Chain A
């Protein structure tokens, strides 16, 4: 009997290398501890795993609540077709954030403590509860896709009847969570560089998450359309890009207010490492995306929109890493750079996210069935089905 070996693509090959290295680093982390697997120290306890995996992961999962709010709260039905994939992205995003936390926590087996050991004074307490509750909400929002596949009608009906309360809970929890990650840095006023320290941090974190949510949905749609050979919903994504542009404009105003109120001019024009990083972040995360996304031609083009939203995402990542790492480097003088095992764990988590999305999208009804496109011609009322073509 012949065994058919699937053809390994370039990215497939890279994926398995990352998995192999990731497994090695995981074993090292959980057998030898944080000291052996990371360059973290008491002086610099939060590195790549918190800066990228957690802070960026949560923000990049914001598409779920932004689209859910658009569909069910603002009644913008047209976004309904992209909601399941946005929910899936958010759900996987949050699950992977929890996985990353398990790596980063010194005693990961105590992760459940906030459930019974309450400390309502702590921002971390809010963060922990938001992650737990919102992941539960996302699991419930995601469950109809699984029930549909398993043909379980009753649970599907129950979840459907709970849709609105779930969405409302999801929006409230994500709003709290996105902003509380910003609040987390309010407790280190003397450590965080003044360029990034601001009482507006919770608002800035929330606004940038609202901006990056649609950007991530766009990138996910673009990549899925490529992987699954389906048509991209360009008209929906182009409209969604306006949400990014408006959120970034409000962000711009708040940041300028910060610069004026906190008298940051000497800092931002000092030509030091922090100021250069700030300008890079501000340019690619705010100014360039606003300039690109307010142009209707760029919004209407598949490539233009993808590039513009990709820049938004890169700017967002830079912002979170600046707040969590760059802004603390000067105070701590720890000279932190992640160990290769830290990097491989991060790549491992990202790769798992991609693989899980691909697997789920392949087997569950994440994307709406391809409806035969129809065009209406001027004469009469004929609706002409555009047929499926096949290669003979």
Chain B
């Protein structure tokens, strides 16, 4: 009986621990999904950011990985496909480089640097939702070999500068949604006025006009 008692005690402890962990996890997952504030965006300290919400990771070789930032992945909420310029293509800074599709709509992103596309993330074509779950690691979209790294990085943001800019962008986005919300969702507007809460994936619910305005105002220029 003693052996069974010891075993039962251990199993009870494990079960309680599992339930405690599950409850904790639920709380952790729940919060960032509902509250959209500057605290809930991830911003890598060592990445460069363009003002059109793309990030760059500078590699050993001088080439850069490019992806979209956490702000885009949070407000999008859903991605159906990503269309990228072909491998080997030369791109100029400020020119369209890839499109993120959500149903029939799409957002066109601009190249943050001038250079040649040297790699495309094969996984992202198969599972585009990776940019939502893991925008900074496995969610890289393409690799570019810039013509002149030194001059390119001068116009990009990093560290505390990027942090300040992102906080400002979030504020700007709140204002944008507050302004546009009454046109497509009368229920969203009071929530915004109350505590400034914006539901994750808000772009899924906006109308065509707001979508286009978002594209123009947030990712339309570097």
A-B CB contact pairs (8 Å), 17 listed: A10-B16, A226-B21, A314-B7, A321-B2, A337-B1, A380-B63, A381-B60, A381-B61, A384-B57, A384-B60, A386-B137, A387-B47, A388-B44, A388-B46, A389-B44, A390-B45, A392-B166
In the complex with contacts A384-B65, A389-B44, A326-B2 CB distance below 8 A? yes
Asked if A96 CB lies within 8 Å of chain B CBs, one says no
Give the residues in chain A near B14, CB-CB below 8 Å: 310
Among the 9-residue stretches A26-34, A45-53, A159-167, A262-270, the one with 4 or more Cβ atoms under 8 Å from chain B is A45-53
In the complex with contacts A317-B7, A382-B59, A390-B43 CB distance below 8 A? yes
**Are B2 and A382 touching (Cβ within 8 A)?**
no
Q: In the complex, given contacts A321-B3, A384-B59, what are 13 additional A-B residue pairs having Cβ atoms less than 8 angstroms apart?
A: A10-B20, A11-B17, A52-B6, A277-B3, A318-B7, A326-B2, A326-B3, A338-B2, A382-B59, A387-B45, A389-B44, A390-B45, A391-B42
Assign chain B's interface to a size class: 35 or more
Q: In whole angstroms, what is the CA distance A380 to B63 when docked? A: 11
Q: Which parts of B1-41 form the interface with A (CB within 8 Å)?
A: 1-7, 10-11, 14, 16-17, 20-21, 38-41
Asked if A383 CB lies within 8 Å of chain B CBs, one says yes
B7 CB to nearest A CB, Å: 6
Give the residues in chain A near B7, CB-CB below 8 Å: 314, 317-318
Q: In whole angstroms, what is the CA distance A104 to B2 when docked? A: 17
Which of A47, A51, A379 contacts B119, CB < 8 Å? A379
In the complex with contacts A384-B65, A390-B43, A391-B40, A377-B119 CB distance below 8 A? yes
Which of B3, B4, B16, B38 contacts A392, CB < 8 Å? B38
Asked if B118 CB lies within 8 Å of chain A CBs, one says yes
Pair count A-B, CB < 8 A? 86
Asked if A185 CB lies within 8 Å of chain B CBs, one says no
Asked if B102 CB lies within 8 Å of chain A CBs, one says no
Q: In whole angstroms, what is the CA distance A377 to B137 when docked? A: 13
Q: In whole angstroms, what is the CA distance A368 to B159 when docked? A: 27
Give the residues in chain A near B16, CB-CB below 8 Å: 10
A325 CB to nearest B CB, Å: 5
Give the residues in chain A near B59, CB-CB below 8 Å: 382, 384
**Are A382 and B6 touching (Cβ within 8 A)?**
no
Q: In whole angstroms, what is the CA distance A383 to B65 when docked? A: 12
In the complex with contacts A10-B20, A391-B39, A392-B167, A317-B10 CB distance below 8 A? yes
A172 CB to nearest B CB, Å: 31
Chain B residues close to A by CB (< 8 Å): 1-7, 10-11, 14, 16-17, 20-21, 38-47, 57, 59-61, 63, 65, 118-119, 136-137, 143, 163, 166-167
Which single residue of chain A is at the shortest CB-CB distance from B20?
A10
Assign chain A's interface to a size class: 20 to 34
Asked if A38 CB lies within 8 Å of chain B CBs, one says no
Q: In whole angstroms, what is the CA distance A391 to B136 when docked? A: 13
A302 CB to nearest B CB, Å: 14
B49 CB to nearest A CB, Å: 12
Which of B10, B44, B137 contacts A314, CB < 8 Å? B10
**Are A51 and B42 touching (Cβ within 8 A)?**
no
Give the residues in chain A near B1, CB-CB below 8 Å: 337
In the complex with contacts A314-B10, A377-B119, A392-B163, A387-B39 CB distance below 8 A? no
Which of B2, B4, B38, B41 contacts A48, CB < 8 Å? B2
Give the residues in chain A near B41, CB-CB below 8 Å: 391-392
Q: In whole angstroms, what is the CA distance A386 to B59 when docked? A: 10
B27 CB to nearest A CB, Å: 13
Which of B3, B61, B137 contacts A380, CB < 8 Å? B61
**Are A392 and B39 touching (Cβ within 8 A)?**
yes
Q: In whole angstroms, what is the CA distance A337 to B2 when docked? A: 6
Give the residues in chain B near A314, CB-CB below 8 Å: 7, 10-11
A364 CB to nearest B CB, Å: 25
Asked if A348 CB lies within 8 Å of chain B CBs, one says no
Give the residues in chain A near B2, CB-CB below 8 Å: 47-48, 51, 321, 325-326, 336-338
**Are B10 and A390 touching (Cβ within 8 A)?**
no
**Are A387 and B10 touching (Cβ within 8 A)?**
no
Q: Which parts of A300-348 form the interface with B (CB within 8 Å)?
A: 310, 314, 317-318, 321-322, 325-326, 336-338
